Structures are given as C-alpha cells and as structure tokens.
Amino acid sequence: MPRRARRRAGGTARRPGPRSSPRTEIGADGRDYQVRVVAGSGAVKTYRCPGCDHEIRPGVAHVVVWPSDGGDAGVEDRRHWHTPCWQNRATRSPTRRWS
Ligand SMILES: [Zn+2]
C-alpha cells in the first residue's frame, strides 16, 4: 500500500518518538521485534490484542510491537498487545497472522 501524506483531523500526529526507546525481543515466530511499553496514561484508544483477541481499553498499560526488519512499513504494521499476552506469546497460537 503506498504511503500518502495525509492530514489527520484535529491534532498532532503521534509518532514513535525518542522519549521511550523500544527494546528488541524475539517473537513467537523467531523474528526480531521492537517492543515499546505504553503507559496507562498514554493509552487513549481501544486496541485489539492479537494474543487473546480481546480489547485493550484506554488507560490500560500495554506494549506496542512491530517487526524490526520492516523499516517504516514495519512500524505501520505495529500491534498493540496486553503485556502478559506478549510475554506468553510463545505458548499461545496467534489468532491473527502478521501477514
Ligand atoms: Zn491480550
């Protein structure tokens, strides 16, 4: 999918910034992933956790994960996980493919 410059309605675009640097972890598929912790105060939207297929509610601390080798496209493909779901990823079967 081509990336197009797009204006977001009402506000500052949130980008992964230098304020918290991601760490690298090995995913359940053996690839490297960047993992960034989102504090409860920073969670302002509802996300779908690919580990358990349940919602992550606003205000719930969790992690954002994306493939290390994907470059910008990898960041676009980031997923929000419950922290325990990500930690237990090796023992779960994913409900959704990374594509
Ligand atoms: Zn979950």
Q: Is position 44 within any domain? A: yes
User: Pick the residue with more confidence: 91 or 18?
Assistant: 91
| Residue 5 is assigned to a structural domain of this protein | no
- Name the domain count of the chain: 1
Assigned domain for 77 exists: yes
Tell me whether residue 15 is in a domain: no
Per-residue pLDDT tens for 25-49? 999 889 999 999 999 999 999 999 9
Q: What is the pTM (predicted TM-score) of this model? A: 0.68
Q: Cβ distance 68 to 32 under 8 Å?
A: yes
Interatomic CA distance for residues 25 and 55, integer angstroms: 23
Asked if the structure places residue 2 within a domain, the reply is: no
For residue 24, the CA-to-ligand 1 centroid distance in Å is 20
Residue 41 lies in a domain: yes
- How far away, in angstroms, is 80 Cα from ligand 1 center? 9
Distance 15 CA to ligand 1 centre (A): 23
Q: What are phi and psi of 75, to 5 degrees?
A: -65, -40
Query: How many residues are recorded in the chain?
Result: 99
Residue 47: inside a domain: yes
Name the residue range of residue 45's domain: 23-91
Tell me the CA–centroid distance for residue 61 and ligand 1, in Å. Answer: 12
